[in-house]
Chain A
Amino acid sequence: MDYFFTEEQKMIRDLARQIAEEKIVPVRAELDEKEEFPREIMEVLAQSDMFGIFVPEEYGGLGMGALELCIAVEELSRACLGISTSYAANALGTYPILLFGTEEQKKKYLPDIAAGRKLVAFALTEPNAGSDAAGIQTTAKKEGDYYILNGLKQWITNAGEADIYTVIAITDRAKGARGASAFIVEKGMEGFSFGKKEKKMGIRASVTRELIFENCKVPKENILGREGMGFIVAMRTLDQSRIGVGAQGVGVAQGAFEEALKFAKQRVQFGKPIISFQAVQHILADMAIQIEAARSLVYSVARYIDSGAKDISKVSAMAKVFATDVAMKVTTDAVQVMGGAGYMREYPVEKMMRDAKILQIYEGTNQIQRNIIGQALIKEATKLTG
């Protein structure tokens, strides 16, 4: 279907697809097997300006928006969700600076990010603070010109590989949710180290580690926004980035669907290609319907975000939930269509199915997304009925 992309949007799609097909597809199975971070692919993405898509032009980026980023993420996800996770997590880590950074902070960090010279990570989750972000225990205490950070962040994508970390920590526990603040922490700062590397079910080309802060000294000018704004920074960042997870869902579903379609056309049973059987056709038809519906929703919401709309929480949650539930369903069905072959590592769909599962979990589980939608609906109902 034609989504009426501009010339520039088509350019991004074509180049991202070329990178995916020429550089990612040949290595994805090996990176998954070895659980290896795709450093070389990151360099290709950097050289192609992919890291600068959503960064304003005055900081060396291309000055585009959510839709363009979604287009790139979708194409990369079609080939490998592990790699697209490393790429998308970079955007997630960058949004706090983009949305809340001072002019100095933007000038200092964004050009390197846009050029792909420095990779970014976002650090909110802790052992006792996942869906319940208010459970954060990492503290930041102001001492002279520094904030002293102590605590542990868990399951942080790009940890160890990234140079810049946007970290949420508690500056005043008495204030509850208003007692959190966001900081820019650089790799190499005193008292900042990395914990164990997680072994994951899928997205194994992405790296997931702990961040350890032991009296980590962060210059006071590295606070994002003001003290106490940490949760606002985190929530607005997630509102902005969530659509990218939706785009990942569309991409991986598309990749799995194409594999299943190709296989069904070639695989002969009972003397005919299995695609000639209605039972198989219907599975494929349902996959195609769901993918197109998810894509339409993701693009529509991305365009809504780019229009400058403020009330994006509900719709971006809807797109994330829908597209990632579709991804899980479609990748599972792709394995089913391909039967035993689909289950084997020789074909890419088993990896896609393993990879897809994370989409329903990270950047807010799909249950939390439904909470967000539910709360928005309650507000709307109150407006209607008083």
Chain B
Amino acid sequence: MRIIVCVKQVPDTAEVKINPETNTLIREGVSSIINPYDMHAIEAGLQLKEKKGGTVTVITMGPPQAEEALREAISMGVDEAVLLTDRAFAGADTLATSRTLAGAIRKLGFDIVICGKQAIDGDTAQVGPEVAEFLGIPHVAYVKKIEEITEEKIVLYRMMEEGYDVVEAPLPLLITVVKELNVPRLPSLKGKMRAKKAEIKRFTHKDIGIEEDRVGLRGSPTQVKNIFAPERKKERKILQGSPEEQVEWLIEELKKLKCI
């Protein structure tokens, strides 16, 4: 089984502080980690390999220093790592990112693609499903349990707001995973030694055969106008009186808010 895991290197939010004036991350002096949800994706990939055989390839798009994240994944036991790095990739939104990742995944070949449900810096949860669209394969998001997998199909528990769905899907497919799925393993000493020496493959836009204006900032329709923390409205009113009075009052209030 050919297993691809997508990861992202993100700032360690346990250390990160927000500049209250600009509402942006203060990145100086903050160490980088593998996006925590992606750690669960790596673990899922390794467990599938242990059960079904095959190889686990981890890929990321990022600057050259994102190689660190890939080496960490190798120390946990993944077989190979690919870094999508190219000046042309810079400034990508989720669409351009997904197109780029999908290009690389298609080139590598796959039976299953595993992503974390979202990255803790961007928080969009879009890249996984978008990659599936570019690849033209089904996807199941928010997977909390892999019940069964054969060469042709997979049975998954998809986390919902209340309870979960049991989903059967054909392979190849893409899944995004939540932290309830597993406990990511620690690296091993042999893994760390291998990671130190391992060769990391590098792909540019040419390697994956995508035009320069379809990747990075030029391939990104999203324009960020402003970044701000959503304001919390703390206003609240407590209903009082008899049930009839409360209903009347509630209807008035809802009308005022133009809800009805």
A-side interface residues toward B, CB under 8 Å? 7-8, 11-12, 15, 18-19, 22-23, 44, 47-50, 52-53, 62
26 residue pairs of the A-B complex, CB under 8 angstroms, read A8-B193, A11-B189, A11-B192, A11-B193, A12-B189, A15-B186, A15-B187, A15-B188, A15-B189, A15-B192, A18-B186, A19-B186, A22-B186, A23-B186, A47-B185, A48-B187, A48-B188, A48-B189, A49-B188, A49-B189, A49-B190, A50-B189, A52-B189, A52-B190, A53-B189, A62-B190
How far, in whole Å, are A7 and B193 apart by their CA atoms in the complex? 10
In the complex, the chain A residue whose C-beta lies closest to that of B190 is A49
- For the complex, what is the distance from the CA of A19 to the CA of B186, rounded to whole Å? 8
A158 to B84 CA separation, bound complex (whole angstroms)? 49
B196: Cβ under 8 A from any A Cβ: yes
Chain B interface (Cβ within 8 Å of chain A)? Answer: 185-193, 196
Q: How far is the CB of B60 from chain A (nearest CB, A)?
A: 22
Ranked nearest first, the 3 interchain pairs of A and B with the lowest CB-CB distance are A49-B189, A49-B188, A48-B188
Among A44, A52, A62, which residue has its beta carbon within 8 angstroms of that of B186?
A: A44
Q: Give 7 A-B pairs besides A12-B189, A53-B189 with Cβ atoms closer than 8 angstroms.
A: A11-B193, A15-B187, A47-B186, A49-B191, A50-B189, A62-B189, A62-B190
Q: Could you tell me the distance between the alpha carbons of A62 and B190 in the complex, rounded to whole angstroms?
A: 8
Residues of B within 8 A of A7 (CB): 196
With both chains docked as a complex, state the minimum distance between the C-beta of B108 and any C-beta of chain A, in angstroms. 27
How far is the CB of B150 from the nearest CB of chain A, in Å?
27
Q: Which residues of B contact A53 (CB under 8 A)?
A: 189
On chain A, the residues within 8 Å of B187 by CB distance are 15, 48
Q: Which residues of A have CB within 8 Å of B190?
A: 49, 52, 62
User: A47 to B189, Cβ gap below 8 A?
Assistant: no
- B184 → A minimal CB distance (Å): 11
A22 to chain B, nearest CB (A): 7
In the complex, how many angstroms separate the beta carbon of B238 from the nearest chain A beta carbon?
A: 40
Q: Which residues of B contact A8 (CB under 8 A)?
A: 193
Most buried by B among A12, A15, A19, A22: A15
Shortest C-beta distance, A5 to chain B (Å), equals 14
| Nearest A residue (CB) for B77 | A47
What's the minimum C-beta distance from B65 to chain A, rounded to whole angstroms? 19
CA distance in complex: A47, B190 (Å): 10
Q: In the assembled complex, which residues on chain A have CB atoms less than 8 Å from the CB atom of B192?
A: 11, 15
Contacts of A12 in B (CB 8 A): 189
Q: Is the CB of A48 within 8 A of B186?
A: yes
| A323 and B191 alpha carbons, distance in the complex (Å) | 32
Bound Cα distance from A22 to B187, whole angstroms: 13
B73 to chain A, nearest CB (A): 15
Report the Cα distance A267→B193, complex, angstroms. Answer: 43
Minimal Cβ-Cβ distance residue in B for A68: B189
Residue of A12, A22, A48, A53 ringed by the most chain B CB atoms within 10 A: A48
Q: A206 → chain B, closest Cβ, in Å?
A: 22
CA A204 – CA B191 in complex, angstroms?
32
The winner among B185, B188, B189, B192 for most chain A CB atoms within 10 A is: B189
Tell me, rounded to whole Å, the shortest Cβ–Cβ distance linking A376 to chain B.
35
Alpha-carbon distance between A50 and B187 when the two chains are bound, in angstroms: 11
Please name all residues of chain A whose beta carbon is closer than 8 Å to the beta carbon of B196 when the two chains form the complex. 7
Chain A nearest CB, measured from B74 CB (Å): 13
**In the assembled complex, which residues on chain B have CB atoms less than 8 Å from the CB atom of A49?**
188-191
* Set of chain A residues within 8 Å of B191, measured between Cβ atoms: 49
Q: Residue on B with the closest CB to A48?
A: B188
Expressed in whole angstroms, the Cα–Cα distance for A53 and B188 within the complex equals: 11
Q: How far is the CB of B76 from chain A (nearest CB, A)?
A: 10
The complex places the Cα of A18 from the Cα of B192 at a distance, in Å, of 13
CA distance A257 to B191 in the complex (A): 32
Look across to chain B and name the residue whose beta carbon is closest to the beta carbon of A22: B186
Task: Return chain B residues, CB-CB under 8 Å to A15.
Answer: 186-189, 192
Nearest B residue to A14, CB-CB = B192
Closest CB-CB distance, B100 to chain A, in whole Å? 33
The CA of A48 and the CA of B184, in the complex, are separated in Å by 13
**Which residue of chain A is the closest to B186 with respect to CB atoms?**
A48
Q: Which residues of A contact B186 (CB under 8 A)?
A: 15, 18-19, 22-23, 44, 47-48
User: Please, how many angstroms separate the alpha-carbon atoms of A2 and B75 in the complex?
Assistant: 25
Nearest CB to that of A12 among chain B residues?
Answer: B189
Cβ of A11: which chain B residues have Cβ within 8 Å of it? 189, 192-193
